[in-house]
């Protein structure tokens, strides 16, 4: 096959498009010359375009590899964009339609007109090597992206006022952005999406399908799913059990063996988290575990449960100070090492450190929280795992006892905006101490309402779970059969 370099375009020669740079910002010692000529293969770009014009069916293989901005030459980018739009509209990618659309975009003369398009076809006698040339174009685009990111990192590194920790976080994130930008199409025709879904479904085998990530609570799982890329806000007023519910769900994910669970707690120590999880797993009272007053039978249950918990794919991080960007960087490194991250739990949003401000102006708490939730949401999408972030509710409705609503989320409407799902934990009889003492009866605080107030896919609603505070556990409500003993016979009034 003749080399693609044999093409003889008739348009006027013009510089290929590359990343603009300010010469005044370039290092004085540029011995390596990495900023002088960005990596590119214009010949490979011509070959890709010529192959598509010869046989538009090669777009099935080329489109997953390339998006328009990966082309170094601006005219090639315009031509490839037209190809994708025609294919998405189920129209043939022929010369006549391509010319018409280029004219509509005012790009016809700039790309070189019909003579240049014809030269692209003449340079490629057949389309068999389209994928090979597409991979070259993609590789050059990735290298240019890395160079641009590295230049930004170097600029910040030379800034004496730049914090080293923030620089590391920025560097990791910037390189990850390059990977994400180059790996996914910015404009993806629906025809490609359908083809990908069908191809994945046809190639699936039962043994290859990962188990769905569920909460482990029967009634709740009928209404919700923890979907990859979602930011899930789990909110409640203080001491209503949001941390307990998050730990119960994290334990269930571990039991499913769905992957690693990363639990970040800025409020509790690892010994407290362990005690609560083992208490829930063993049904041994939490106070007995913490105080060391277990009897022989309870100690036996405790040891057996501890052995089971030790086998879980659960990773704890209990810092006293942590930014949202730190959490994503931590999760990114874990995902890179293990490749099987399934869930991230953050306890809780109000205790995270604010991110560095982009300006030196005044920053409100609302602005800080908006930045945190945006970082967590972007991190969930990047890592393709759900992030469950715990959040406090305001105390405005405590006296009335009304169920929580979205406007009760503390400090920022951005929490609701950025979240894909918002769940509330509400114990209606949490504040019934006075009535309970007066009537000298057992506490009615034995159940909780889990309110699904927002969900991007699926409806909203409410389910009830039994609340067993002495063993740090929620449980499905169920009817007991005749003569069946309660689940916890030694449950007392105080919780």
Among 390, 416, 385, 415, smallest CA distance to 229 is for 385
Contact in structure between 203 and 196 (CB atoms under 8 Å): no
The backbone torsions φ and ψ at residue 467, rounded to the nearest 5 degrees and listed phi first, read -115, 120
- What's the rounded Cα separation, in Å, for the pair 269 and 235? 20
Residues 337 and 396 in one domain: yes
Same domain for 124 and 167, yes or no, is yes
CA 425, 429, 431, 433 torsion: positive or negative?
negative
Torsional sign, CA 165, 168, 169, 174: positive
* CB count in 10 Å sphere of residue 162: 14
Those residues whose C-beta lies under 8 Å from the C-beta of residue 124, and which sit 6 or more positions away, are: 1, 4, 46, 47, 50, 51, 54
Is position 414 within any domain?
A: yes
Look at residue 134 and tell me if it is in a domain: yes
User: Does residue 228 sit in the same domain as residue 321?
Assistant: yes
Number of Cβ within 10 Å of residue 363's Cβ equals 15
Q: What pLDDT is stored for residue 493 in this prediction?
A: 31
Name the phi and psi angles at 484, rounded to 5: -80, 130
What pLDDT, in 10s, does the model give residues 410-441? Answer: 666 678 888 999 999 998 887 665 455 445 54
Tokens of 349: 């949003």
Q: Is residue 206 part of a domain?
A: no
Length, in residues, of the chain: 495
- Please tell me the predicted confidence (pLDDT) of residue 337: 85
Residue 244 is predicted with a pLDDT of: 94
pTM recorded for the entire structure: 0.63
Number of domains in the chain: 2
Q: What is the mean pLDDT of residues 19-38?
A: 50
The pair of three-digit structure tokens given for residue 96, joined into one six-digit string: 């006549």
**The domain boundary residue, chosen from 201, 233, 254:** 201
Q: Is there a domain that residue 488 lies in?
A: no
Residues 22 and 165 in one domain: yes
Give kind and range of the element (H or E) at residue 311: none
Task: Encode 110-145: b = buried (16+ Cβ within 10 Å), e = exposed.
Answer: bbbbeebbbbbbebbeebebbbebbebbbbbbbbbb
pLDDT tens-place string over residues 281-340: 999 999 999 988 999 999 999 999 999 999 999 999 888 778 888 898 889 889 888 888
Around 431, how many Cα atoms within 13 Å sit in the side-chain half-sphere? Answer: 11
**Among 389, 394, 398, 418, which residue's Cα sits nearest to residue 407?**
394
Tell me: do 132 and 278 sit in the same domain.
no
What tokens appear for 458 in the block?
């699926």
Mean pLDDT over all residues of the chain?
79
Q: What is the pLDDT of residues 200-231, one digit of tens each?
A: 566 555 544 445 588 989 889 888 888 999 99
Distance CA 162, CA 412 (A): 28
Question: Of 39-53, 241-255, 273-287, 411-425, which range is least confident?
Answer: 411-425
pLDDT in tens, 344-354: 999 888 888 88
What CA–CA distances, in Å, run from 334 to 82, 181, 317, 344? 40, 21, 12, 11
Residues 155 and 81 in one domain: yes
Specify whether 109 is located in the same domain as 140. Answer: yes
Q: What is the pLDDT of residues 84-142, one digit of tens each?
A: 888 766 678 889 899 999 999 899 999 999 999 988 988 776 667 888 899 899 999 98
User: What secondary structure letter does DSSP report for 444?
Assistant: S
Q: How confident is the model at residue 8 (pLDDT cuts 50, 70, 90)?
A: very low
Domain with residue 32: its CATH number is: 1.10.860.10
Instruction: Examine the pLDDT at 24 and tell me if it is beyond 50.
Output: no
Confirm whether 209 is domain-assigned: no
Can you read off the two tokens belonging to residue 448? 């909780």
394, with CB counted inside 10 A (0-12, 13-18, 19+), is middle
In sequence order, which residues have a C-beta less than 8 Å from that of residue 386 and are 6 or more positions away? 213, 226, 227, 228, 229, 230, 231, 232, 343, 344, 380
What's the average model confidence in pLDDT over 468-490?
65
In a domain, 213, yes or no: no
* Residue 361: per-residue pLDDT: 52
CA atoms within 13 A on the CB side of 121: 11
Pair 191, 234 in one domain: no
Long-range contacts of residues 160-167, Cβ cutoff 8 Å, at least 24 apart: 163/356, 165/326, 166/325, 166/356
| pLDDT for 182 | 61
Q: Is the pLDDT of residue 3 over 50?
A: no
Band of pLDDT at residue 243, cut at 50, 70 and 90: very high
Residue 361 lies in a domain: yes
DSSP 3-state of 186: coil
Report pLDDT for 358. 47
Site of tokens 């090597």: 129
**Range scoring the smallest mean pLDDT among 383-392, 393-402, 484-493:** 484-493
DSSP code string of 29-86: --TT-TTTS----HHHHHHHHHHHHH-GGGHHHHTTT--GGG-SSHHHHHHHHHHHHH
Distance CA(139)–CA(119), nearest Å, equals 24
Same-domain check for residues 194 and 281: no
Distances (CA, A) of 91 to 131, 138, 191, 262: 22, 26, 11, 47
Q: Are 359 and 368 in contact (CB under 8 A)?
A: no
Q: Does residue 384 come out as left (phi exceeding 0), alpha (psi in the -120 to 50 range) or beta?
A: left
Side-by-side strand order, sheet with 314-317: 314-317, 260-265, 341-347, 387-392, 231-236, 421-426, 447-455, 461-468, 473-476
User: Which CATH number goes with the domain that contains 396?
Assistant: 3.40.50.300
What pLDDT shows up at residue 296? 92
Same domain, residue pair 254 and 325: yes
Q: What number of other Cβ atoms are within 10 A of residue 58's Cβ?
A: 20
- Asked whether the beta carbons of 491 and 468 are under 8 A apart, the reply is yes
Question: Does residue 487 form part of some domain?
Answer: no
Quote the CA–CA distance of 346 and 352 in Å, as a whole number: 9
* Mean pLDDT score, 430-453: 68
Alpha helices in 350-409 (DSSP H): 365-383
Cβ atoms < 10 Å from Cβ of 14: 11
Domain that holds residue 90: 4-201
- Name residue, tokens 């901005």: 69
Q: Residues 342, 309: one domain?
A: yes
241 lies in the same domain as 170: no
- 155 touches 312 (CB < 8 A): no
Residue pLDDT, tens place only, 68-99: 889 999 999 999 989 888 876 667 888 989 99
| Confidence (pLDDT) at 203 | 59
């Amino acid at each position: 096959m003749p080399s693609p370099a044999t093409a003889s375009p008739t348009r006027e020669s013009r510089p290929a498009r590359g990343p603009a740079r300010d010469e005044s910002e370039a290092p004085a010692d540029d011995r390596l010359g990495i900023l002088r000529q960005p990596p590119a293969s214009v010949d490979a770009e011509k070959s890709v375009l010529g192959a598509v014009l010869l046989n538009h069916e090669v777009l099935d293989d080329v489109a997953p590899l390339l998006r328009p901005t990966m082309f170094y030459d601006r005219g090639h980018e315009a031509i490839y964009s037209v190809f994708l739009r025609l294919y998405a509209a189920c129209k043939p990618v022929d010369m006549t339609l391509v010319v018409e659309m280029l004219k509509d975009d005012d790009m016809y003369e700039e790309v070189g007109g019909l003579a240049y398009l014809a030269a692209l076809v003449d340079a490629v006698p057949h389309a068999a090597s389209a994928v090979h040339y597409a991979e070259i174009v993609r590789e050059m685009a990735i290298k240019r992206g890395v160079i641009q990111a590295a230049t930004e990192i170097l600029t910040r590194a030379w800034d004496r006022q730049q914090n080293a920790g923030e620089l590391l976080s920025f560097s990791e994130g910037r390189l990850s952005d390059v990977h994400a930008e180059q790996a996914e199409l910015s404009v993806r025709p629906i025809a490609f999406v359908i083809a990908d879904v069908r191809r994945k479904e046809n190639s699936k085998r039962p043994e290859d399908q990962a188990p769905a990530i569920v909460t482990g609570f029967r009634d709740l799982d009928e209404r919700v799913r923890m979907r990859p890329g979602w930011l899930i806000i789990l909110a409640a007023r203080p001491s209503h059990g949001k941390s307990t519910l998050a730990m119960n769900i994290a334990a269930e994910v571990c039991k499913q063996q769905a992957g690693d669970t990363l639990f970040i707690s800025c409020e509790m120590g690892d010994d407290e988290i362990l005690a609560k999880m083992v208490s829930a797993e063993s049904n041994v009272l939490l106070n007995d575990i913490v105080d060391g007053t277990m009897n022989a039978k309870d100690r036996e249950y405790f040891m057996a449960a501890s052995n089971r918990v030790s086998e879980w794919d659960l990773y704890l991080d209990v810092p006293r100070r942590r930014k949202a960007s730190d959490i994503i960087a931590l999760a990114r490194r874990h995902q890179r090492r293990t490749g099987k991250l399934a869930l991230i739990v953050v306890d809780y949003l109000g205790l995270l450190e604010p991110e560095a401000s982009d300006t030196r102006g005044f920053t409100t708490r609302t602005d800080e929280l908006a930045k945190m939730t945006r970082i967590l949401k972007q991190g969930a999408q990047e890592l393709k795992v759900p992030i469950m972030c715990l959040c406090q509710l305001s105390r405005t409705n405590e006296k009335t006892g009304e169920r929580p609503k979205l406007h009760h989320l503390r400090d920022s409407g951005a929490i609701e905006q950025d979240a894909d799902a918002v769940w509330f934990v509400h114990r209606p009889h949490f504040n019934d101490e006075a009535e309970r003492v007066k009537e000298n009866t057992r506490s009615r605080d034995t159940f909780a309402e889990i309110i699904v107030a927002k969900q991007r896919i699926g409806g909203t609603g409410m389910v009830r779970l039994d609340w067993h505070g002495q063993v740090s556990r929620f449980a499905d409500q169920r009817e007991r059969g005749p003569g069946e003993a309660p689940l916890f016979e030694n449950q007392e009034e105080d919780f």
